[in-house]
Structure 1
Amino acid sequence: MGNSTIRDGQISSALDERSREVFRRIVETYLDSGEPLGSRNLSRILPMTLSPASVRNVMSDLEELGLIYAPHISAGRLPTQMGLRFFVDAFMQVGNLSEEERGSIERQIRPSEDDQSMEGVFNEASRMLSGLSRGAGLVIAAKSDPVLKHVEFIRLEPTKALAVLVGEHNQVENRIIDLPAGVTASQLTEAANFLNAHLAGQTLHEVRSQLEKLKGQVESELDELSRDLVERGLAVWSGGEGEKPTRLIVRGRANLLEGLAGLEDIDRLRLLFDDLERKESLIEILNLAETGPGVRIFIGSENKLFSLSGSSLIVAPYRDGDDRIVGAVGVIGPTRLNYSRIVPMVDYTAQLMARLSRKGS
C-alpha cells in the first residue's frame, strides 16, 4: 500500500478544487447509476460556475492522469480502475452505522435458540451481507472445533476403521482412518473408552494438550496399538497444525447477474464462480484479509484472484479469543459497489462474528 499512498499524494497535489469536484461527480454518478457523465450535465451540477468547454478541459487533464476514460464513442466519462482506487483512498468518507442498522445486523446473525452452533450464523451473515450490498455475501469459516461428547471406532476392513465424533450439539463428524497393523476389536473399544472417559467435554484443541499431560496415564492404561489408534483418530479430525479455514459460504450470486450486458460479462462471472469453487481461493481470500488491519478493499485486477472477472472484493478478517484469525466476511460485486456504505457494514459484521466465535470457543 506504500506505493499507492505515494501515487495518491502525487495525484492529489496535481488536482485543484475544480478538478477534484469534476472527478468526484464523475465517480459518484458511476457508483450510483453506472452511467458515464458528460460535460454538459456536469456543468449543471457543479457547485462552481464552469462552462461545458471548461469542464471538457478539466476532463482532458483527468484523462491524462489516468483517472477517467471515455467508454466507446460516448461523450461522457467513467472512472478507470486507478481512478476508483484513488477515490476510495482520497475522497471516500466512511460513516458509522446507525444504532438501527447495527441492531438489524445483530438480529439477523444471532444464533437461534435450538441451534447454538455457528453454522446457522455463517449462513445468515452471508445472506445478510448479500441483501444489504446487492452483491454476493461471503463468509470463510474455520473448521469447527466442537466440544467432544462421544467417540467411537468402527472397523470397516482389516486395515481401516470409521472414527465417529459426536459434538455437544449432536453434530457428527466421520473420518476413515488407517488402522495400526494387528489392532483387535477390543483395542478399538479400549481406545474409544479411554477418550470418552478422560477427554469428553473438551475441544479437539484442548484434547491434544490434555493428552500431553496424561502421557503417563495413557502409557499405563493403553497398550501401544491402542495409543497409536488414539493419536491417529485425533490427527485425522483436527487436521494439521495451522491449517487454514476450509469452508466458503456464498449467498446472493444471482445479484451479480443483474446489469450484465452480454455474453462476455456472463463469461467473466463464470470465471469468478469457478475461482470461488477452488479451495486455494479460500486461502487466497484469507491471505488478502490478513495483509492489513480492518476492512480491505480490492478493486478489479488489484486482486489477482478475481482479476479476470473484474470484480471488487471488500473483506475483513475476524479472530477468536486467542486473537487467531479464524475466518473472514466480505462482499463480492461489480466495481461500482457502494463502498462507503458496505465498508462499515462488513467491518461491524466481522466484529460480531469475532464476538460470537469467542463465545462459542
Structure 2
Amino acid sequence: MTTQPVSVDLNVGGVDTAPDAAETATVASPESIDDLMGVLTGLIGSASSPEIRQAQVLLLQRLALEGDVIPSRIPAPANITQIGGYLNLLTALGQDDMRTQMLGATLGLAGSLPLPGLDQQPPPLSLAVVSNDVPPGSTGVAATVTMRSDLVSGLATALQTVHTAGGLLPLSAPAALPPVGSAAFDPLLHLGRAVLAAPVVTLVDPQTDAVVLGRAASDTGTSYRLAVRVRSGTTGASTEDWTCLMWDAVSASYAEQTVSGATLLPIETALSGSGLMAVRPSGVPSGRNDLAWARLADVAGLLPGVTRLGDELALVYSKRQIAASAFAPMVDFVWDGGAFATPA
C-alpha cells in the first residue's frame, strides 16, 4: 500500500504552531483507499445476515443525509480555531445534533444516532416481500406481496401447502399506507397482518379460476368459503359439486354457477398450521368492492379492548409515515375482536 506524509496544522487561540515530528501522520494514498472501499462495498453487498442488512440501511441513510452530494459553499476549515467557530455557531443556534454530527465528521467518525432528518427510532419490524402466484395469462396480479416480517413464515407455510397440492394462490396486498384524505382501507392489510385472495383473478370464471368462492354440496347453510383448485388425489380436497359465485359484468351483480368434476381444497385446510384465517361470508358480497370474503389474516396477539391501532402501526412504520397517512386520526382505535374501532 503506497503512503505519503501529511502535516497537521494546528491553530490554538488564533496562533499557528508549526508541526513537529509528532504532528506528522501517515495516511493511505487515494488509490489504495478506493481499492479498500471497493472490497468493503462488495463484502457488505453480498452479505445477508440481519446485522449486515441493518448496516446497509444505515450506510444508505448516511449517504442520503451526510454524503457530499452537493459541494460545500464555504471553504473547509483550515485550523482548530475555525472549527471551534463553527461549533460555537451551532451551539448558539441550538443545533446540538448537527454540532455532534459535525464534530464526528471532523474526527472522521461515523457519527452518532439518530441521524438528523431521520425518526428517532426505526420500527422494530418490517414488511417482508413474498413472491406471488401469477396464473398464466393473467394481468393485474403483482409479482410480490408483503407480510409483516414476524408473520411471513405463516404465509410461506400456506403457500407451500397449496404448491405441494399443485395449486396456485394468487394474492393481493397494498404497497403503502393510504395518504391523508384518502379512504382508509382495512388496517390489517396495511399492518402486514393480512393479504387478499387476488380479486382480479377470483370470481371471474369458476370453471377455470385458481381460487373459487362457493360451497360444497354437503355444506350446510348458505354461507360461502374459498377453495383452491388442486390436483386430483390431494388429501383433504373435495371432489363433489360446488355452487360457486361469479361476477356478471353485464348485470353488475353476482350469479351462481355449478362446478362439477373439480378437485377443490377448502381454504381452511390450505391455511392449517399457518396462523392465517379466512372470513366465511354468510351471504353474497354487496358488490365488486366488497372484499371481506378475500381476506386471509393473522390476528394472533391482538387483544380485544386492549390493542391500539397506533401501537400496531408503530411496529412497521415510522412516526412520520403514520402522521402522513389516513390512519393518523385513528391511532387510538382499539381492536374489538374483529376490527379496529372507536374505543368505548
* TM-score of the superposed pair, with normalisation by structure 2: 0.26
Which has the bigger relative contact order, CA under 8 A and spacing at least 6? 1
Larger Rg: 1 or 2?
Answer: 2
- Which has the larger share of helix? 1
